[in-house]
Amino acid sequence: MTATVTHSGTLVLVLAVFLACAVESVEALTIVLAVGVTRGWRTALEGVVAALAVLAALVGALGPALVHLVPLTTLRLVIGGLLLIFGLQWLRKAVLRAAGLKARHDEDAIFAEQVEELSTGAPAGGRDTTGFVVAFKGVFLEGMEVVVIVLTLGSTSHALGTAALSAAAAVVVVTVAGLVVARQLSAVPENAMKMAVGLMLVSFGTFWSGESVGVHWPGSDLAIPVLVGFYGLVAWALVTWMSRPRPVPRVAGDPPGRGDPVAPLTGGSHG
């Protein structure tokens, strides 16, 4: 029984880290591909390697410190709260996108935009600082979110190694897939993946923050998959509710029967 409970928690953790890392990797890979195509692959790879080294150093330095220096109850309260905020932000965005109230992340458009920006003033020779910085920033900034997820989920459940391995596996899978389907990253079901990650982060956040303040979870760790299911139902209900067409308020003097439904908006920013 205990083993089953532990395995279910670990499985959700591995899935959450893998999916979060995969989503961020797709976004970073779009930028790296744009740099590679316009400024050269050497510059792009240098930027990627430098950013990955800094991110790995952050995990290596902060992870053990969090685990060994901060009491578990405090760690779970702070990290549970962080995961709740972060997870709710992801979930809210995914629900709005699924309901057509926010523009979906269009990797093709982002790629074209990056290529256009980087094509102007390409260097004739020597070191390409612009290309390096764009690739570095793309990987570093997208990777920072993954680092936060790996550190929080990994350190709180004492599975930092498993979380880091899961993140590394996602990077490898996305990179290989990205090279195979180069420039067709828009085909990745990014919003569905973001929704799944949001559900898991909110579930872990609810569980750990609750446990730290004294909540008695029936079934212990087994409550985590139950929470995932509950929040999944809530998200599905919200998407259904927000997707339904709304009647236009009738203006005085209009003929009866005008109540046309309002089409869902598709405008909005990326991110």
As a whole number of angstroms, the distance between CA 219 and CA 27 comes to 37
Q: Is 16 exposed, middle or buried (0-12, 13-18, 19+ CB in 10 A)?
A: buried
Return d(Cα 47, Cα 173) in angstroms, integer. Answer: 20
CA distance 33 to 41: 8
- Rounded to a whole number of angstroms, the CA Rg of the chain reads 22
One residue of 214, 253, 256, 257 binding another protein per CB under 8 A = 214
| Given 14, 32, 48, 82, the residue binding another protein (CB under 8 A) | 82
User: Does 232 participate in binding another protein (rule CB under 8 A)?
Assistant: no
Distance separating alpha carbons of residues 103 and 117, to the nearest angstrom: 22
170 binds another protein (CB under 8 A): no
Q: Which of 256, 257, 266, 260 is nearest to 248 (CA)?
A: 260
Residue 125 touches another protein, criterion: CB under 8 A: no
Residues 175-204 close enough to bind another protein by CB under 8 A: 202
Which of 71, 121, 218, 255 touches another protein (CB under 8 A)? 218
What lies within 8 Å, CB to CB, of 21 at 6+ separation is 146, 149, 150, 166, 167, 170, 171, 174
Q: Note whether 59 binds another protein by CB under 8 A.
A: no
CB of 119 to another protein, least distance (A): 28
The rounded distance, in Å, linking the Cα atoms of 206 and 202 is: 6
Judged by CB under 8 A, does residue 85 bind another protein? yes
Stretch that binds another protein, among 25-33, 35-43, 89-97, 123-131 (CB under 8 A): 89-97
Q: Name the one range near another protein by CB under 8 A: 44-52, 129-137, 167-175, 261-269.
A: 261-269
Least separation in angstroms between residue 35's CB and another protein is 22
Residues of this chain that interact with another protein (CB under 8 A) are 77, 80-82, 84-86, 88-89, 91-92, 95-96, 99, 101-102, 144, 148, 202, 206, 209-210, 213-218, 223, 227, 230-231, 234-235, 238, 242, 246, 262, 265, 267-268
